[in-house]
Amino acid sequence: MLASLEFYDGDNAVSERVEALYARLHAEIADVIRAGQDSGEFSTRLPADMLAASVVSMVDGTLLQWHRWGRRLDGEELARSTRSLIFNGIMKQTAYVK
């Protein structure tokens, strides 16, 4: 995540590789969400691509918070909280997921 910020919009091999990794991550998550939407497990209120972008954003934000506040935050608890927000946000019928 920090490398993606440092090399954002550069004209070099590292920037291209970071962009490719994020594109692949986004595509894979969107595919999983689409499959969940098609099977009826995930909500179809929002497009899979938008939800995938939100998931990537939440994961990056979680990593940034852990980096900034690592001494004050329990990393496992932060990850569980993020996972709960993500899954409870995309499930068709919201049932609390820990």
Each residue's pLDDT expressed in tens, for the chain with a length of 98 residues: 666 767 667 788 888 888 888 999 999 999 999 999 999 999 999 999 999 999 999 999 898 888 888 788 888 899 899 999 888 888 877 555 55
Q: What is the 3-state secondary structure (H, E, C) of 11-51?
A: CCHHHHHHHHHHHHHHHHHHHHHHHHHHHCCECCCCCHHHH
- What 3-state class would DSSP assign to 91? strand
In the numeric block, which tokens belong to residue 72?
Answer: 């004050």
Say whether 61 sits in a helix, a strand or coil: helix
The one-letter amino acid code at 51 reads L
For domain 2-90, give the fold.
Tetracycline Repressor; domain 2 (1.10.357)
* Domain ranges for the chain: 2-90
